Structure 1
């Protein structure tokens, strides 16, 4: 028993060297028919040709007879070999078609394997980046808490003031801290929808923390984060997409309820691989499909509430965020802009 067992060679498909075969059954049959026909023709003209030799009227008749004799002998042979050649060509075409199909299957398998390897290689990088962002966030929050505590300790305590009952502001029952909080600035909301650029993006983290204190903004941001995380598993990142930006008028028409061709410009994502991967994930993964539809509903509500008082510049800034690009991609796959 040898140390290295022999394995069957993998077919190379289109790059495999075609096999050189000898005579096939069709060619053998054609050769036999040609031989039989020639032997029969020779026997016929030798046996019956002499008796008709004197029936001619001249040189022209002899020439015509000679030509007809050649056609009678060789024309059937030529037809047999034309049929044999056609059969051989058909067999070669079938072999070439099989080799071409094998090559296509090999290319498809290589593409799938490469995509899976890239996805597996990208997951540790994404997880590491998320860990860095989380660590930076915790570090910033710790510094802010320490700073606030230091200010509270340094401030002298003031004696409580007597407040008259009549001067006390009456609060309705059920009022929460969120209702008393100041409204979220549009700049912070748009900046939060784009998410922090890097772990050192302090302004991005600050805008994100302020946006998360708003209940409706927090819901949309959480849904967008879930969708972006799921898309990154297939190697789809919003920074790699370069969509065709739509005019603010189109976004306003969408906010007013327009669908289909009037708002088709919003589906500006042209990356075929990202569209194909997203469509496949939408059909096969129910978790991804539910997350995508939930995100699309929240984004639709946000645009309806954001558009009436927003300027064209603010709408343009909103459409250039990572969240808006995810909406363009998922909306086009879901058929919102068809």
Structure 2
């Protein structure tokens, strides 16, 4: 069965046809009235006067009804917009609940790897503490044993630490560790993370960042989804030197209103997360001061793109440390 290709235009053509028909009808009535009145001996001025009177009587009534129809259409459009907004908000909340349920049901493999690394580090620290604090048995000197000179081998005291201190974390490892491994097969990421965890201050920052990132993921907030405004390296350096407020306001480049609102609500309702967030901000501040002193502008720009730095921007914006 053939279809009419102009079927979709019928309402528009019908409306235009009605408008043209009413216009011609009005003009026809005016001409007919002038002809009839002219036959009765009325002049043109009298006829125009009658037309003006008719317009004065009927035009306000027509305008009132037009205004009523316009208000009715506007109210209907407002109701439709409100229903659409409610539907979108319901879909967004349902998506967030699904993300929260998925985050609670399955523990991410990256978090499991970090827990294993932390457990291994604690075990190594315990073994080192046991080694360095054990007591050495005293040596027994017999009367026939000649006294040893100062250059002879002597037992190492328990308080001595003959092993050199660990080397500072390289900026590349520091940046890679704070971005966390991409997947469970990211061998370079886990290697950088292990090297960075050997430094006590960096390990504290990694644990603090892991805590806040886990809670934010439960709220459906993922750092990879955020697109913050980039701040120049000199602004990061000013923050490391102690600048606060409007001078470093560019660091709060997170503009996602939904993420800001959810983070603010979680901090108000969850004291544990609020404490973890403040601990992360303090640890980030202290460790970044040490990193900035030896980092180039390019390394600071790379550092600003890490997941930990984005979490710092988000929480700093919520807590108001950028003014």
TM-based fold match above 0.5: yes
Match of residue 193 from structure 1: 178
Q: How does 1:80-119 map to 2 (within 5 A)?
A: 80-119=61-100
Q: How does 1:252-271 map to 2 (within 5 A)?
A: 252-271=237-256
Conserved? CA contact 2:236–2:251, under 8 Å? yes
Distance 1:304 1:226, change over 3 A: same
Structure 1 SS opposite 2:293: coil
TM-score normalized by the length of structure 1: 0.59
Conserved? CA contact 1:136–1:200, under 8 Å? no
Matched, 1:300 2:281: no
Matched, 1:79 2:60: yes
TM-score normalized by the length of structure 2: 0.61
Q: Deviations over 1:243-278 (max 9, x none)?
A: 455444332221111123433343344555444443
Q: Which runs of 5+ in 2 are unaligned?
A: 1-39, 125-138, 142-146
- Computed over aligned residues only, the root mean square deviation of the Cα atoms, in angstroms, reads 4.3
Q: Deviations over 1:181-201 (max 9, x none)?
A: 723532254443333333344
Q: Deviations over 1:91-112 (max 9, x none)?
A: 3333332233223222222232
Q: Deviations over 1:156-176 (max 9, x none)?
A: xxxx9x99696456676xx8x
Match of residue 113 from structure 2: 133
Structure 2 SS opposite 1:199: coil
* Aligned-residue offset at 1:227: 0.7
Match of residue 221 from structure 2: 236
* Aligned-residue offset at 1:212: 4.0
Q: How does 1:314-329 map to 2 (within 5 A)?
A: 314-329=299-314
Conserved? CA contact 2:236–2:248, under 8 Å? yes
Conserved? CA contact 2:169–2:196, under 8 Å? no
* Aligned-residue offset at 1:123: 4.7
Distance 1:134 1:68, change over 3 A: closer
Conserved? CA contact 1:137–1:205, under 8 Å? no
Match of residue 289 from structure 1: 274
Q: Separation in 2 of the partners of 1:326 and 1:200?
A: 24
Q: Deviations over 1:212-236 (max 9, x none)?
A: 4544333222111101101111233
Q: Separation in 1 of the partners of 2:256 and 2:204?
A: 28
Structure 2 SS opposite 1:307: helix
Conserved? CA contact 2:169–2:199, under 8 Å? no
Aligned length: 260
Q: Separation in 2 of the partners of 1:294 and 1:118?
A: 26
